[in-house]
Structure 1
Amino acid sequence: MTASDRFQASYLIETPLDPALVAEVMAGEQSCGTFTRVEGETDDLRARARATVTEIVELPPADQPSLPNAWLRRKRVHGPYRRARVTIAFPVVNVGANLPTLASVVAGNLYDLGEVTGLRLEQITLPATYRGRFDKPKHGIAGTRRLTGVSKGALVGSIIKPNVGLDAEETAALVARLCAAGVDFIKDDEISADPDHAPLARRIPAVLTAIKRHQDATGKHVMMAFNITDETDAMRRHADLIVQHGGSCAMVSLNWCGFSAVTTLRRSTDLALHGHRNGFGAISRHPLLGIGFQAYQALWRLAGVDHMHVHGLQGKFAQENDEVVGSARDCVRPLAEGCDDRVLPAFSSGQSAATVQATFDAIGHADLLFMAGGGIMAHPGGPAAGVTSIRQAWDAVTSGIALDHASREHPELRQALATFGQSA
């Protein structure tokens, strides 16, 4: 079996047992085996269907287990708790082009194995031929730039605030104000989808009328990501409504819709799909449990999303800056050789002109969506000055000019640094 016939998954594991033994258990559990060899599990079958361990790198052990484990307790097995990075290769033929099954193979029951006191899926590596069997972003970075008319530099966006409570007409008025301020992108909050006070059936036409009016006056199409998170048929209906009224983007709360629904949505619409990761912390914050962002975004890119949230540097959430940086880099790294399937990393969470320097220094490029709520709406000069300050900051850093130096010539940037810089 060649490399193109297998995909790989890498894990961080913790166990009081021999990591090599545990890795073999993992490989068997997620392919043709179980805790013991069974009737029908011939050598020929194992040769074509069994996963294989390709690498084990042992790390320093821990004195205490990261997670409780009744199986080990019953067997009176104690520490030290050995840690290792394990890579397993799985036969492509076991899965086919089936995203929910792929996810269950690389994760699934592994989290419940009695042999481990910690397990985290960290990376998925796919051969190009296998990656080609799944959906790709219909727009990604290049397509989003075409739709918004932003050929270079960071795309500047904002979020509807208040999060909920505005009716359709009030939302449209706020969108018109943000369009006039000069944003490239606006999105609903993840908790505002189809509420009684602003149902999508009213909000979509009202908001897109405001966007069309702005486009007619300026030639600028502002991309609006309507949160259509719902059951699959409702999402498809709402996506059709967005298209009917001239919109270009829909937002989906990925974790709560699931791979099947998002894949179906992708195949039924040409809209850009803005993937919101809310809930990701529940499966990622513990260092020895869940899924790391590289593996997470790889799976969702196979569903065909165009944008992925990565949070923001120096933001209001719990992630370390290094994790945000790594997530953004994952988004712009092709999943397989020769495949242009990059997605637009979406920065948000406490962002303003004051966080631009740190973002650019860490990322090194401007192929990203930089969203600010308070950083735009709370700027002392008003929303237009907030947007201008962010653009001034990005122009400066991409030209190699320090923000404090650029702020001497740009009052909007100077005000933003004075107002928001204390949290930077």
Structure 2
Amino acid sequence: MSQHRIEADYLVETPDDPERTVATIAGEQSNGTFVRVPGETPKLLERAAARVVKFEVIDRFVGRRALPTAHPTPDQEHLTRAKFTLSWPLATLGPSLPNLMATVAGNLFELRQVSGLRLLDIRLPEPFAAAYSGPRFGAAGTRHLAGVQGRPLIGTIIKPSVGFSAQDTAALVAKLCAAGIDFIKDDELQADGPNCPFNDRVAAVMREVNACADRTGKKTMYAFNLTGDVEEMKRRHEVLLRHGATCLMASINSVGLAGMIELAKFSQLPIHAHRNGWGYLSRHPLLGWSFTAWSKIWRLAGADHMHVNGLANKFSEPDDSVIESARSCFEPMFASKTCTVMPVFSSGQGVTQMPGTYAAVNTTDLIVTAGGGILAHPGGPEAGVRALREAWDAALQGVPQADYARTHPALSMAMRAAV
């Protein structure tokens, strides 16, 4: 383990000398403090200090700092942006994801010399692969349970997001299962309140899912939101197993990294990782995380599916960021364990985004969820499911969507409704 090292790539903005700023970050995140202390010997620094292994200035300009500070700053000053890579010996923290977070994304964001800082990527040595399960199902296991091969899983979200009782939810699920949908999920706001208790919702929904599977041979995958503390999630997981559920969902920013690690240890079902709250970690381009770096933590912790937003989404994220996030889900993390996950496209999705989605990622190992795009179809949910499937058929066959729609009424109606 003494020879293994961790690497992390960053983008920094600073009004100070950039090389000195990066050296300060390296010290702050390993051996250092703001003054030299007894015992901080050259031998200790060689053994334990973070190293700057790459440094590149990418821009020098006069302008205003990207991030505010408590100290007075001029509106116009000389600023530098640079990319750099830090390397840490694994021996100082061991293969521990919680302690990795403190190392690569700890106090460095608060440093006075830093007027912008973003974590771009991380690379972990093999001992991390041995320490954590990674995805237990991924695309292959999810496809097996959902009975879908050769195309994306077509899914939806229960809408309205909250307000339905358990029986209301089950009634909608019955319609969607009859329509042949592959995947349904709770909205992340639907929890375990008295209006729709978790246990009641699972029992009512799975009665409909199982009944439809008995009739048709197709069992729709439903991701139930079991977000809670660890003991709550354990109890809810047992309920899911008792009723024959095939997926669970957790809001990973809410359960936290330690909660996710524990969930992955006991879960016997695919984990649908919902990233709600992602904006507060990422929206400013010079603060926080890239999805590539952040998602690696959760992939290794045990996520099987990860939300990546969607093209032309209802949020603020541009398409190139969505595409980069989706592609990063397929990038192997280790030689011994790839930790690849299924990206989940969501947020204002419909038939018009499907050709661009396929062109961007060139794979069908996706889950595509459309709320209004299915439930608000002029022909009803069955036509909504059919329209999404037809949109993917056209994309996979390389047929322009408008041409395919001429002989496929559900797709044609969805396209007109989207205009």
- Normalising by the smaller structure, the TM-score range is over 0.9
* Alignment partners' CA distance in 1, 2:129 and 2:14: 32
Contact kept, 8 Å, 2:95 with 2:127, in 1: the verdict is no
Instruction: Name the aligned partner's letter for residue 328 of structure 2.
Output: D
Tell me the CA shift for residue 409 of structure 1: 1.6
Tell me the CA shift for residue 389 of structure 1: 1.0
Tell me the CA shift for residue 340 of structure 1: 2.7
Tell me the CA shift for residue 77 of structure 1: 12
- Given the two structures, how large is their TM-score scaled by the length of structure 1? 0.95
* Alignment partners' CA distance in 2, 1:25 and 1:71: 19
Give the secondary-structure state (helix, strand or coil) at the position aligned to 1:122.
strand
Runs of 4+ in 1 over 4 A off after TM superposition: none
Residue 382 (structure 1) aligned to one of 380, 383, 395: 380
Give the secondary-structure state (helix, strand or coil) at the position aligned to 2:206.
helix
Q: Which residue of 2 aligns with 1:58?
A: 57
Instruction: Name the aligned partner's letter for residue 59 of structure 1.
Output: I
Tell me the CA shift for residue 72 of structure 1: 7.2
Q: Which residue of 1 aligns with 2:16?
A: 17
Contact kept, 8 Å, 2:183 with 2:222, in 1: the verdict is yes
Tell me the CA shift for residue 70 of structure 1: 3.0
Higher mean alpha-carbon deviation, 26-35 vs 308-317, is at 26-35
Q: Deviations over 1:326-352 (max 9, x none)?
A: 010011111223423110100011111
Give the secondary-structure state (helix, strand or coil) at the position aligned to 2:128.
helix
Q: Which residue of 1 aligns with 2:177?
A: 179
Instruction: Name the aligned partner's letter for residue 36 of structure 2.
Output: R
Q: Which residue of 2 aligns with 1:362?
A: 360
Q: Which residue of 1 aligns with 2:225?
A: 227
Equivalent residues in 2 for 1:105-254, closer than 5 Å: 105-254=103-252
Residue 101 (structure 1) aligned to one of 96, 99, 109: 99
* 1:79 corresponds to 2:99: no
Tell me the CA shift for residue 55 of structure 1: 0.8
Give the secondary-structure state (helix, strand or coil) at the position aligned to 2:213.
helix
* 1:33 corresponds to 2:36: no
Tell me the CA shift for residue 127 of structure 1: 2.6
Q: Deviations over 1:293-327 (max 9, x none)?
A: 11110111121111100111011111000010001
Tell me the CA shift for residue 380 of structure 1: 1.2
Instruction: Name the aligned partner's letter for residue 149 of structure 1.
Output: G
Residue 302 (structure 1) aligned to one of 287, 300, 303: 300
Q: Deviations over 1:172-199 (max 9, x none)?
A: 1111111111111100001111121111
Tell me the CA shift for residue 407 of structure 1: 0.9
Give the secondary-structure state (helix, strand or coil) at the position aligned to 1:132.
helix
TM-align CA RMSD: 1.6
Tell me the CA shift for residue 81 of structure 1: 1.2
Tell me the CA shift for residue 209 of structure 1: 1.1
* Alignment partners' CA distance in 1, 2:341 and 2:370: 20
Give the secondary-structure state (helix, strand or coil) at the position aligned to 1:170.
helix
Tell me the CA shift for residue 71 of structure 1: 5.1
Tell me the CA shift for residue 43 of structure 1: 2.1
* Alignment partners' CA distance in 2, 1:280 and 1:93: 31
- Stretches of structure 2 that go unaligned for 5 or more consecutive residues are none
Instruction: Name the aligned partner's letter for residue 383 of structure 2.
Output: A
- Stretches of structure 1 that go unaligned for 5 or more consecutive residues are none
* Alignment partners' CA distance in 2, 1:359 and 1:35: 48
Give the secondary-structure state (helix, strand or coil) at the position aligned to 2:77.
coil
Q: Which residue of 2 aligns with 1:293?
A: 291
Instruction: Name the aligned partner's letter for residue 44 of structure 1.
Output: K
Instruction: Name the aligned partner's letter for residue 15 of structure 1.
Output: T
- Given the two structures, how large is their TM-score scaled by the length of structure 2? 0.96
Q: Which residue of 2 aligns with 1:415?
A: 413
Instruction: Name the aligned partner's letter for residue 167 of structure 2.
Output: E
Contact kept, 8 Å, 1:16 with 1:78, in 2: the verdict is no
Identity %: 45
Equivalent residues in 2 for 1:272-287, closer than 5 Å: 272-287=270-285
